[in-house]
Structure 1
């Protein structure tokens, strides 16, 4: 800012006092408010570079925390490790995108907690970045894109549950964020490259989680409801985009056609709930949808209402072309779920299942704020304060979970002493070509994690995956347990069918029940496993 005296003010013009005042010359694209520093702070808090650096540091901290915690694997972690032994077009009840990424990461970087948590952290970081870029496509004030991205932290299923132990939902968060970015880029800047990105995003989303399909269907209907958008999207460029999406989805789609019954039974069972009759089932389904909606999005609504409390009426009333479009996507997505409840018998809609459907919620709120044309500095300060609190609480909560057992006696999966069992199994497997047979997926995944050079199979095997044949092995080490840590049942109760299927009519002689102290637990508290060793006659 410069100060300059107007020379014309010097002279006999006593009645025109304003010419005696210094003229304020502001920098280009500036406003007088910048003299007080408020917009400067807003610019810094709304800068993409700030968001990138903070989120990168945040997810690196999560990787460090996971490495420091005990090395027992959570359910999804163990499943991913177990299934990483194969590269297949399909693995069971979930699409294979995350499995493919996990397989590749382990092949490149080796088996470690850094590999497992690093992949998850990278996907979540990219999800936030894509969401930020999606918001920038349609927000007039680009600083609000940071508000939209930080809004994801206010959703427990994304900020906490995804970090605690989720895999396919993490993939769905990534796929949905990528899809929103590509969709809004196509609608706002319909270049050929934008359409190709749209095809790639749709294809990837389709192999992240099956309920992702609701999002592009709702988005397509929302586009058709807007004349200008309809003209933009219904272009010849949509054909190569559709071909790209089909190329990505086809390998798994062909597998799904051959394995639909096995792949769908688990999901349909979860969504179907109990047989409560027609009206009872509809009431139960609508009730679960309502509970799921507020469980997923309720905290976000409350936080944003507090952040913009002085301008809440203006934000609620404000509308624009983009609020209407994103709002239609959200409403149509919910309508599609209601139709599933009414006509497909869905009775149990869980909050986590709504992730692709409601992910656009924070973006919708940011668009409403943008349309209201309210001052941004206070809101940016408040949302960053909320985000900072969340970024401290969540890693601390994850670390605390593994420490509570020594006080309460209620231990987390990470505390289970899988690594100590693996040492015993390694001793029993030494000197022979050994196959490990585990009684459940979490146990099998932990064995493969700790003994990555030994093949592991689970009985019964995961859906659509066959047990490993015994050809070429001359020793089997069986491992089993009760999930509550109490003494496991006898060998025959767990593996009798497996032995019969492989034509074995003898029982192993080397059988034992062993107990090990929990990691980070009280010395007297022990978790019990059983193992048995069988040498095969060749």
Structure 2
């Protein structure tokens, strides 16, 4: 009887890493970013401060028109690891790593080659809105795109497994995408339409197992859906950013919206498109002699992108949205590097163009590391440095020395969120929170940027039954860590328990 070879866990890991070097690069890259940015950061920016303000509060919905998935994950991580910048970065970069990995494994499950899957994954670093903006500041957009990547992976697995378990996970994957951000609906609809348009996938999607997928999806989103119906003012809080029928111009508004869709789509994928064209041009003498028929998986990726963009086009036409920001296209176009990798493989006889494409993606990723560090530490937004570099430690020390408080109230999440870094027990309250006034419990610190009484903070006081404006308002100048000549005035008052 021949001897049976038994591999140790270490051998298996080394074997997996040697077979999937691109995936290993991605995982090590985001692991490094977690520890590197935690080390150099002084405080949280606007989006991360909002998450700090919500950590620990598991609710079916939150304020600011944002679905809850990203905040749920932060809350769970915060309850386990504590509220810190490390936890915030662990969630963000962990989700980004899972986004890249989901694209890779989804492509492999659909039958695409390892080289195409690797190039399509690493090529995501050529999408500035993901490689740069998602690492620098975005939160819910990260949740939406990651949720769509999970849905893509679940779809690919279900097409291969066709089991009741994979159907349930498909429904949950769709729910995660929609609970990440509502614009994920364009990708989900495109994924379904693309699948139905291809016979081999249509037979699976129209099978009995899809009933379980639909039930799992409905059960997962129902509580948040009911919450949204009961809190429509929070659901619609930021709809003004779409500039629907701007200026009352019915046709001009729609024309402008479609133009922004086209322009930002090109800008979103422009870097990847340019480098894929360069890789093709350099290998034009080595082009494939015959064009084979498009495989089912290749057609699926192409149709997902086409249907998703068509869905946004129709959405702009119906709603009259005059504004379509490039970051909103993350869940729509994150598969564009995978499509470009497919085109490269089909049009050339060797894998060299794909390898060049992946190398450029890796270089873009590495360039982001020092660029992001410089941006966080020294960049200025107009005349002011990064808001995350304010001396929040001094604000906490000064206010805590003047009196006890368990609640911190402000017009926005920036100050309450960052103060939580120094005392996890603080209950933050800001104006965008649903039922914000009812969350205020004295003793409380009321704090805001600028001089004089902030009208939004005063409104929160009145809502909490504090009728008379406080007379003992104090202020403090907070300097920026790397710009000590620059400062921001912060006003505050501590109201004791009654």
Measure, in 1, the Cα distance between the counterparts of 2:117 and 2:179. 27
- Is 2:364 the counterpart of 1:390? yes
Measure, in 2, the Cα distance between the counterparts of 1:407 and 1:207. 31
Measure, in 2, the Cα distance between the counterparts of 1:349 and 1:55. 30
Paired residue for 1:476?
444
Measure, in 2, the Cα distance between the counterparts of 1:202 and 1:344. 24
Worse-matched range after superposition: 512-521 or 171-180: 512-521
Worse-matched range after superposition: 314-323 or 220-229: 314-323
Aligned length: 480
Return closer, same or farther for 1:428/1:48 CA change in 2, 3 Å cut-off: farther
Deviation at 1:188, TM superposition (A): 4.5
- Is 2:380 the counterpart of 1:414? no
Deviation at 1:379, TM superposition (A): 2.5
Query: Is the radius of gyration larger for structure 1 or structure 2?
Result: 1
Measure, in 2, the Cα distance between the counterparts of 1:353 and 1:405. 24
Deviation at 1:45, TM superposition (A): 12
Deviation at 1:236, TM superposition (A): 0.5
Paired residue for 1:196?
168
Q: Give 3-state SS (helix, strand or coil) of 1:295's partner.
A: helix
Q: Give 3-state SS (helix, strand or coil) of 1:525's partner.
A: strand
Return closer, same or farther for 1:498/1:176 CA change in 2, 3 Å cut-off: closer
Q: Give 3-state SS (helix, strand or coil) of 2:473's partner.
A: strand
Paired residue for 1:424?
398
Paired residue for 1:132?
104
Deviation at 1:149, TM superposition (A): 0.5
Return closer, same or farther for 1:470/1:144 CA change in 2, 3 Å cut-off: closer
Paired residue for 1:166?
138
Deviation at 1:164, TM superposition (A): 0.4
Return closer, same or farther for 1:297/1:273 CA change in 2, 3 Å cut-off: farther
Q: Give 3-state SS (helix, strand or coil) of 1:532's partner.
A: strand
Q: Aligned runs of 1:313-332 on 2, under 5 Å?
A: 319-332=294-307
Measure, in 1, the Cα distance between the counterparts of 2:382 and 2:141. 30
Return closer, same or farther for 1:407/1:490 CA change in 2, 3 Å cut-off: closer
Return closer, same or farther for 1:47/1:281 CA change in 2, 3 Å cut-off: farther
Paired residue for 1:143?
115
Deviation at 1:408, TM superposition (A): 9.5
Question: Is the CA contact (8 Å cut-off) linking 1:515 and 1:526 kept in structure 2?
Answer: yes
- Is 2:498 the counterpart of 1:527? no
Deviation at 1:123, TM superposition (A): 0.8
Aligned match of 1:49 in 14, 20, 37?
20
- Is 2:246 the counterpart of 1:285? no
User: Structure 1 regions of 5+ residues with no counterpart?
Assistant: 1-43, 482-487
Worse-matched range after superposition: 348-357 or 358-367: 358-367
Q: Aligned Cα RMSD in Å? A: 2.7
Return closer, same or farther for 1:517/1:273 CA change in 2, 3 Å cut-off: farther
Measure, in 1, the Cα distance between the counterparts of 2:220 and 2:408. 34
Q: Give 3-state SS (helix, strand or coil) of 1:108's partner.
A: helix
Aligned match of 1:435 in 387, 402, 407?
407
Question: Is the CA contact (8 Å cut-off) linking 2:198 and 2:296 kept in structure 1?
Answer: no
State the Cα deviation string for residues 420-440 of structure 1 (Å, max 9, x = none): 21111221233xx54322232
State the Cα deviation string for residues 115-142 of structure 1 (Å, max 9, x = none): 1101111111111111100111234432
State the Cα deviation string for residues 4-49 of structure 1 (Å, max 9, x = none): xxxxxxxxxxxxxxxxxxxxxxxxxxxxxxxxxxxxxxxx999653
Paired residue for 2:325?
350
Worse-matched range after superposition: 151-160 or 364-373: 364-373
- Is 2:138 the counterpart of 1:176? no
- Is 2:457 the counterpart of 1:499? no
Measure, in 1, the Cα distance between the counterparts of 2:370 and 2:262. 30
Compute the TM-score of the two structures, normalised by the length of structure 2. 0.89
- Is 2:336 the counterpart of 1:361? yes
Deviation at 1:185, TM superposition (A): 2.9
Question: Is the CA contact (8 Å cut-off) linking 1:512 and 1:532 kept in structure 2?
Answer: yes
Deviation at 1:419, TM superposition (A): 2.1
Question: Is the CA contact (8 Å cut-off) linking 1:417 and 1:527 kept in structure 2?
Answer: no
Paired residue for 1:336?
311
Measure, in 2, the Cα distance between the counterparts of 1:131 and 1:406. 34
Deviation at 1:327, TM superposition (A): 1.4
Paired residue for 1:122?
94
- Is 2:29 the counterpart of 1:67? no
Deviation at 1:303, TM superposition (A): 1.4
Paired residue for 2:188?
216
Return closer, same or farther for 1:404/1:499 CA change in 2, 3 Å cut-off: closer
Measure, in 2, the Cα distance between the counterparts of 1:399 and 1:509. 42
Paired residue for 2:470?
508
Q: Give 3-state SS (helix, strand or coil) of 1:527's partner.
A: strand
- Is 2:55 the counterpart of 1:87? no
Paired residue for 2:418?
446
Deviation at 1:276, TM superposition (A): 4.9
- Is 2:209 the counterpart of 1:237? yes
Deviation at 1:161, TM superposition (A): 0.6
Measure, in 2, the Cα distance between the counterparts of 1:455 and 1:182. 37
Q: Give 3-state SS (helix, strand or coil) of 2:169's partner.
A: helix
Measure, in 1, the Cα distance between the counterparts of 2:474 and 2:426. 21
Q: Give 3-state SS (helix, strand or coil) of 1:499's partner.
A: helix
Return closer, same or farther for 1:269/1:409 CA change in 2, 3 Å cut-off: closer
- Is 2:129 the counterpart of 1:157? yes
- Is 2:242 the counterpart of 1:274? no
Measure, in 2, the Cα distance between the counterparts of 1:187 and 1:520. 53
Measure, in 1, the Cα distance between the counterparts of 2:146 and 2:456. 39
